[in-house]
Amino acid sequence: MIPLQVFAGVLAAAMVVLILWMIRRDRLPVSHSLWWLTVSVMIALFGLMPGLLDGLARMVGIAYPPSLLFVLAILTLLIKVLLEDLELTTNRRRLLRLAQKTAILEEEVRQLRERVEKQS
């Protein structure tokens, strides 16, 4: 095994251990951990089997296989940013609805208190 393959294997294993530790400590949601575990697997695959990257580069018509890593990394980051943006939008919408429901409930409580005070 060449040093790059050893490094990739150690890096992927360290990422998996870190992700599992973060899940156990409730610092990383399971939905996010699946994403990072997939990234760890990809690091392991491309690092431990460099021929896989060469074959994939040939298949998509890229002459210099390491440049495929940059393309894949950029695509991965773009997808991650899109998913995070979707989650942020969903959370904002939920927060807005929660604030509206809270305001409605506070108004109902205020009206009920006024009724009780008038009856007393």
Region 25-48: mean pLDDT is 92
Cα–Cα distance list, 37 to 18, 32, 110 (Å):
10, 9, 50
Report the number of secondary-structure helices (H) and strands (E) in the chain: 4, 0
Q: How far is CA 84 from CA 32, 48, 76, in A?
A: 10, 30, 12
Phi, psi of 106 (to 5 degrees): -65, -40
Stretch 5-15: mean pLDDT: 93
Percent of the chain topping pLDDT 90: 90
pLDDT digit string (tens) for 59-75?
999 999 999 999 999 99
Q: What is the pLDDT of residue 1?
A: 62
Stretch 52-60: mean pLDDT, rounded? Answer: 95
Q: What is the pTM of this model?
A: 0.76
- Tell me the HSE value of 102 on the side-chain side, using a 13 A CA sphere: 6
**Can you give the pLDDT at residue 101?**
98
Mean pLDDT computed over 34-44: 93
Mean pLDDT over each residue of the chain, to the nearest integer:
94
Q: What is the mean pLDDT of residues 37-59?
A: 93
Q: Among candidates 46, 18, 51, which has minimal Cα distance to 33?
A: 18
